[in-house]
Amino acid sequence: MAVTADPAAALAADGLVVPAWGRSPRVLGICVGMQIMFAEGIEHGVRTEGCGQWPGTVERLTAPVLPHMGWNTVLAPEGSTLFAGIGPAERFYFVHSYAATALPLRTWDRVAPPKCAWSTHGNAFLAAVENGALMATQFHPEKSGDVGAALLANWLGTLI
């Protein structure tokens, strides 16, 4: 693994973990890296265009306390690659005030519809999406201890 700001090195990588959009064969977006994959985001009344990889809007959560900061369970989809071997009682670390609350099911990769994982803070929101080679989490696996390391290992397994 290496950290780089060189676009050529990023494009040549077998896998890429990014806080923003990359053009690697496989991408894992984390937190804001997930949010920018959607068509748009609205923050403080300002509408901003996203990468448009998924339809939908990232908006402020409706919750009594924001930011949502802490440990939550995630309802993973059946057959998930990211959550393989991870039980439903496991908790992941979140820190965010914005999220997508819907993702219309359709086939972007022309093979299967995306697999969506959900969590709740005030209202339900997308906690992770698996869409072919494009995967993303709203939570921080790198801050989620052993369970986050297991999820990252699952993602790394897709690079082989």
Based on the residue annotation, tell me whether 142 is a catalytic residue of this protein.
yes
Q: Could you tell me which of 155, 67, 63 has the C-alpha nearest to residue 101? A: 63
Q: Alpha carbon of 38 to those of 51, 88, 106: distances in Å?
A: 6, 26, 14
Going by C-beta distance under 8 Å and a sequence separation of 6 or more, which residues neighbour residue 40? 47, 48, 49, 50, 57, 58
CA angle 34, 72, 87 (to 5 degrees): 95
**Residue 59: left (phi > 0), alpha (psi -120 to 50), or beta?**
beta
Catalytic entry in 31, 90, 96, 116: 31
Catalytic entry in 40, 51, 59, 142: 142
Q: Alpha carbon of 113 to those of 106, 110, 132: distances in Å?
A: 5, 8, 9
Based on the residue annotation, tell me whether 140 is a catalytic residue of this protein.
yes
As a whole number of angstroms, the distance between CA 83 and CA 116 comes to 11
Catalytic entry in 40, 51, 59, 140: 140
Catalytic center residues = 31, 140, 142
